[in-house]
Amino acid sequence: QVQLVESGGGLVQAGGSLRLSCAASGRTFSSYRMGWFRQAPGKEREFVAAIARSGRSTYYADSVKDRFTISRDNAKNTVYLQMNSLKPEDTAVYYCAAGYPKDSDVIRGYDYWGQGTQVTVSS
C-alpha cells in the first residue's frame, strides 16, 4: 500500500510556472511507475506525464510536451511536475498516481491515487 499527497497547486497567470510535488508513504515507492493526470471541470481525467521506476524514462502527453517536466527523487519518496509556460487550458485538478501500468497513459493501470491539487491559470 502507498498513500500519495499532492501539493504545490495554486493560481498563476498565463505564461507562469508551478511545481507540483507528490509525497508517497511506504518503503516501496521506488518500485512504482509514477504518473500525473489532470481533470478539468466537465471533462474526463487525462494523462499528463509518467516516469519509470528508475527515473531514466519519461512520457508526456502531446499537449504538455516541452512545457512540463516530470522527475522523481526515490530517496525522498517524491515525484515532481515542473510546469512552465502555463496556459488557461492547463487549469484542472492534478492527481499523482502509482502503479505498474502496461501503458503509462492508461488510468486503470494505476493502483493508488492522491486527492489532487487545484491548478488555475488565468488569462
SS3 29: helix
Contact call for residues 28 and 85 (beta carbons, < 8 A) = no
Q: What share of the chain in percent tops pLDDT 90?
A: 92
d(CA 90, CA 39): 9
Instruction: Note whether 121 and 13 are within 8 A (CB).
Output: yes
C-alpha distance from residue 55 to each of 19, 79, 119, 121 (Å): 17, 10, 24, 28
What digits encode the pLDDT tens for the residues 61-96? Answer: 999 999 999 999 999 999 999 999 999 999 999 999
What is the band of 24 on the pLDDT scale with cuts at 50, 70, 90?
Answer: very high
